[in-house]
Amino acid sequence: MISVHHLTKQYGSNAVLRGIDLQIGAGEFVVILGQSGAGKSTLLRCMNRLVQADGGELTIAGVDAIGCSDTRALRQQVAMIFQHHNVVPRLSVLKNVLTGRLGSVSTLASVLQLFRREDVDLAMQCLQRVELAHKAQQRTDSLSGGQMQRVGIARALAQRPKVILADEPVASLDPKTARLVLQYLRDATRELGITVVCNLHQVDYAREFGDRIVGLAHGRMVYDGIASDMTDADLQRIYPGQEPEPAPSRSIGPMRVHYANE
How far apart are the two ends of the chain, measured CA to CA in Å? 31
pLDDT at position 70, please?
Answer: 77
pLDDT at position 11, please?
Answer: 93
pLDDT at position 74, please?
Answer: 85
Spans of all domains in the chain: 2-238
For 239-247, the CB contacts below 8 A with 24+ separation are 239/34, 239/35, 242/35, 244/33, 244/35, 244/201, 244/203, 245/201, 245/202, 245/203, 246/202, 246/203, 246/204, 247/175, 247/202, 247/203, 247/204, 247/205
Give the whole-angstrom CA distance, residue 123 versus residue 126.
5
> Could you tell me the CA-to-CA distances from 195 to 25, 168, 189, 237 in Å, in that order?
7, 16, 7, 26
pLDDT at position 262, please?
Answer: 33
Dihedral sign, CA of 25, 31, 37, 42? positive
In this prediction the pTM is 0.87
pLDDT in tens, the chain (262 residues): 899 999 999 999 999 999 999 999 999 999 999 999 999 999 999 998 999 999 999 999 888 999 877 787 888 899 999 888 789 999 999 999 998 887 765 444 544 566 889 999 999 999 999 999 999 999 999 999 999 999 999 999 999 999 999 999 998 899 999 999 999 999 988 999 999 999 998 999 999 999 999 999 999 999 999 998 999 999 999 999 876 666 554 444 443 333 333 3
Give the whole-angstrom CA distance, residue 168 versus residue 85.
10
Contact (CB, 8 A) for 181 and 150: yes
What DSSP designation does 92 have? B
Does residue 258 sit in helix, strand or coil? Answer: coil
Question: Within a 13 Å sphere around the CA of 194, how many CA atoms are in the beta-carbon half?
Answer: 27
pLDDT at position 112, please?
Answer: 54
pLDDT single digits (tens) 95-129: 999 988 877 654 445 445 668 899 999 999 999 99
Question: In the CATH scheme, what is the code of domain 2-238?
Answer: 3.40.50.300
Residue whose C-alpha is closest to residue 39's, from 67, 81, 13, 10: 10
Residue whose C-alpha is closest to residue 6's, from 244, 205, 260, 221: 221
Give the whole-angstrom CA distance, residue 134 versus residue 92.
12
